[in-house]
C-alpha cells in the first residue's frame, strides 16, 4: 500500500503518475492514522542511490521496497518523495501484524482541480 504524508503530496503524486482522463468519477482519498506505537522504518535521501529522483525511477528503488517487505520487521516504511524530497511517502505492509493498529478513516470524494490540467 503506497501512501503520502499529506493529501497535497498524494495529489501531486497522482497528478504526475496518471492521465487525468483515467481518474474515475468516484475517486476517493482515504485518511490513515499511524499511532506512535507502530514503529516506522525510515530511508533518508542520503541512503538512496544518486539517481533516485530520475524518471523513470531506477529499479534499485523497487529493490529497497521489496527487501523491506521481505524482511517483514516493520509495518511502515517512510521514504522521501522524488517530487518533493522534503516530504514523505509511506509504504504500508498490510500483512504485518502491526497493520491492525493503523486506523483507516472513511473514504471521501476527491477531485483534482481542473486548473491543474490547463495547457
- Residue 94 belongs to a domain: yes
- Residue 33 belongs to a domain: yes
- Residue 31 belongs to a domain: yes
**pTM for this one?**
0.89
Q: Which range of residues forms the domain containing residue 56?
A: 2-108
- Cis status, amide bond into 56, omega within 30 of 0: yes
pLDDT by residue for the chain (119 residues), tens only, comes to 789 999 999 999 988 888 877 888 899 999 999 999 999 999 999 999 999 999 999 999 999 999 999 999 999 999 999 999 999 999 999 999 999 999 999 999 998 888 887 76
The distance from CA 46 to its chain's CA centroid, rounded to whole angstroms, is 19
- Residue 67 belongs to a domain: yes
Q: Which residues contact 16 (CB under 8 A, 6 or more apart)?
A: 83
Total domain count, the chain? 1
- Residue 117 belongs to a domain: no
Cell digits of residue 97: 501484524
Amino acid at each position: 500500500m503506497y501512501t503520502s504524508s499529506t493529501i497535497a503530496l498524494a495529489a501531486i503524486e497522482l497528478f504526475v503518475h496518471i492521465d487525468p482522463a483515467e481518474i474515475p468519477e468516484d475517486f476517493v482519498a482515504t485518511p490513515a492514522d499511524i499511532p506512535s506505537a507502530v514503529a516506522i522504518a525510515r530511508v533518508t535521501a542520503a541512503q538512496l542511490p544518486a539517481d533516485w529522483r530520475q524518471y523513470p525511477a531506477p529499479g534499485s528503488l523497487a529493490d529497497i521496497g521489496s527487501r523491506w517487505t521481505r524482511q517483514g520487521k516493520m509495518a511502515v516504511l517512510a521514504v522521501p518523495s522524488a517530487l518533493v524530497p522534503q516530504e514523505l511517502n509511506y509504504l504500508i505492509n498490510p500483512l504485518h501484524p502491526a497493520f491492525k493498529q493503523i486506523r483507516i478513516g472513511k473514504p471521501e470524494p476527491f477531485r483534482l482541480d481542473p486548473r491543474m490540467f490547463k495547457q
